[in-house]
Amino acid sequence: MSQPIIHQLDILYPFIQAPMFGVTTPEMVAAATETGCLGSLPLGDWSAEQSVQAIRATKALCNGQFAVNLFVHKVPQADEALKTQYAGSKQFIEALAADHGIEVSLPGIDEINVDDYHAQLDAALEEGCRIISFTFGNLDEESIRKCKDKGVLLIGTCTSVDEALILEQSGIDMICVQGLEAGGHRGSFATEDIPQIGGLSLLSRVYDSVKVPLIYAGGMYNARTVLAAKMIGASGFQVGTLLLNANESALQPFERAGLKDRGESDIMLTRSFSGRYARGLRNTFIDALEHSGHILPYPYQNRLTQSLRKAARDAGHTGFVNLWAGQSLSGLPERSTKEILTDLVMDTAALNNEY
């Protein structure tokens, strides 16, 4: 299966551990790499210094190459209108938290740093990272040139055919096709609206439209789903939700417990925590924010709610933490990342041989 992508990524099996910011740990990346799959380290909204620390911690555990993942976003200008909106959202969320027994003082807009991805990218290149994936947009021409000059393989994220074409025409080496059912943040960037395209329909259309290898993300939880994606064009398969309960996951016990007995009806797309659409478990905070008019654009909403989410985690309060998950949520295994991925690889190989 998928010989070209295996060769390009220098892995044994065409499976990619999803870069889940807040869930993925260096230990999870190392375990995925040890399995013969591609581990992915998310850098999220960390500073360049924090990114270097995470990269070095992961290097210390890994025998092979791993990918680093960037949020490629544009920072809106903090004009007077945004500052006024920010102040109103801050007041609303602080009052909401207090009503639910969480005392927290959120930062003012002048107290937060909202850098873009360029410093992270430079840090990753300086650390010798050779595989860089990204979401929320496309790298600018200068960044692509710097990566190409260093022999870096680039993996972009699309949620529509138009986005796939933009990435291919920019010289991106591989494209991760993110199905609508995938957990976590949407990678949409070509339009303000979220493309409402089912994953397998999108994958088939993208396969007919571009020539670069495709990685599929969304609902990859057993051999049948992997082979379904393979049959309609995927060369690689990104696994995220399946690893939420892995031993190496950063989720705390109360968060893991919150995943049990939950189904697709409990999962929704929301901008409430970060300002960008993400799929996760519905809770008190989401219900209160969803139609409140107090959701700021990314990354301002993300920075505003950061200390609230930390306070809620410290208190074990499920109603105010973001728990991202895809629609294939039932029966999450509670074992090591290596065991989970090995079983998926072996089950897929066995089923593939049947056909």
Digit-coded pLDDT (tens) for 310-353: 999 999 999 999 999 999 887 899 999 999 999 999 999 999 88
List, for residues 52-88, the tens digit of each pLDDT value: 999 999 999 998 899 999 999 989 999 999 999 999 9
pLDDT for res 191: 82
174 or 74: whose pLDDT is higher? 174
List, for residues 254-295, the tens digit of each pLDDT value: 999 999 888 878 999 999 999 999 999 999 999 999 999 999
pLDDT for res 262: 84
Domain spanning 1-75+114-249+331-355: CATH 2.40.70.10? no
The pLDDT of residue 1 is above 60: no
Q: Return the percentage of the chain with pLDDT > 70, whole number.
A: 99
pLDDT for res 192: 78
pLDDT for res 2: 62
User: What CA–CA distance (Å, rounded) separates 165 from 77?
Assistant: 28
Assigned token pair, 194: 């979220």
- Which band of pLDDT confidence, cut at 50, 70 and 90, is reported for residue 178? very high
pLDDT mean across residues, the chain? 95
pLDDT for res 265: 85
User: What is the average per-residue pLDDT within 38-52?
Assistant: 96
pLDDT for res 4: 83
pLDDT for res 176: 98
Mean pLDDT check: name the lowest of 94-103, 138-147, 161-170, 190-199. 190-199
The pLDDT of residue 206 is above 60: yes
Mean pLDDT check: name the lowest of 26-30, 138-142, 261-265, 287-291. 261-265
What are the start and end residues of each CATH 3.20.20.70 domain in the chain?
1-75+114-249+331-355
